[in-house]
Structure 1
């Protein structure tokens, strides 16, 4: 990992991705949830014609605004986005046994739902991938403060490349405005971190960016994709 970390040091994002594509041809993928950070990375990839595989997870509980943005983004860039869904049988079993809103009842139930709808489909999407590009930023949540630009994911046996990890929120907004990148209209209504509709609310001024995710819990606000 030292060699690849050294090679990426101080490289602009486009050059870094080009290097990773050269080192791992056909095995570089970017996961987008169509959040602001992910829209920045998608624009960088497609604007520079980088042959990175782009995919998203459709949990079946997303906001209509997210689907609208997905449609707009695909029309704007005319590039394919692979969509991974949860396993039908697993969702059917969960809802039949615990109802459609079991995630409100306990942290364990919420993590079970996230596992079925997000983590399992993600693991399928990442099969054969050596470099997983993410839109993570350090200031998004406490457990991301210590993350580096390049990390080794031991569980999935791949590298995570986090090109925006040290970006500030203002830098993200500036990029979107400068390049006129489409974004989720919920961001204009106080939604910063957008996930599934039943598990996301707008935040108040001064609240932490992740306060709108699983707001009824006091535990750390992660779904299992990144921790």
Structure 2
């Protein structure tokens, strides 16, 4: 059952206050935060680490990420001083996929791409969330049509946990201001037109005026989602 008046009580607060309140509200429960080290996730990571909140931080390594992303991970962990758990795809599943369909099967069809995303992202995420009571994400309503109506908190019956999106109401301008004020490390690819950064072969820079998610799976006419937040 979603805590009464949760969203109304959280909305007036700063990001740091929001996360501190969430940690207090669910004290004694297992809270986890999934980061892909994008700008939204960097803001949340800073708010958690700087306050030393009882929220575990984990990431998914698909094995196909940009070198800049790996460098940012090391820099962020060193600068903010927190424990990071990394979940990798099951080796056997990746080996079977590559043996049957090659390294770049995801370009062939939406179905193939979703198959790759499942093996490299969704299955590891399911393992990462085992035993968790609360899953915190960096989703913002502005990011895509699929996320526009997402609430700040919802009960995920399939995963048997609360999913909380503390930045859901934030604008990109608010996010940028927070990152700048706190001198939070950011991926250098952002300055090269990469707004939403995923796997290297599935991400391109966007042009001025393009939707922020246009650079993800650019060869597809899809909702630009991998299934993590379906």
TM exceeds 0.5? yes
Per mean C-alpha deviation after superposition, the further-off stretch among 20-29 and 200-209 is 20-29
Per mean C-alpha deviation after superposition, the further-off stretch among 71-80 and 105-114 is 71-80
Residue 178 in structure 1 maps to residue 192 in structure 2: no
CA RMSD after TM alignment: 1.2
- Other-structure match for 2:32: 29
Runs of 4+ with >4 A deviation: none
Scaled by the length of structure 2, what TM-score is found?
0.95
Instruction: Name which of 13, 16, 19 aligns with 1:17.
Output: 19
Report matched runs for 1:38-187 at 5 Å.
Answer: 38-187=41-190
Residues 145-180 of structure 1 deviation map (CA, whole Å, 9 limit, x = unaligned)? 110110121221111110000100111111110000
Q: Distance in 2 between matches of 1:85 and 1:64?
A: 16
Q: Distance in 2 between matches of 1:224 and 1:5?
A: 29
- Other-structure match for 1:6: 5
Q: Distance in 2 between matches of 1:93 and 1:186?
A: 32
8 Å CA contact 2:134, 2:163 repeated in 1: yes
Q: Secondary structure at the match of 2:32?
A: strand
Count of aligned pairs between the two proteins: 226
Scaled by the length of structure 1, what TM-score is found?
0.96
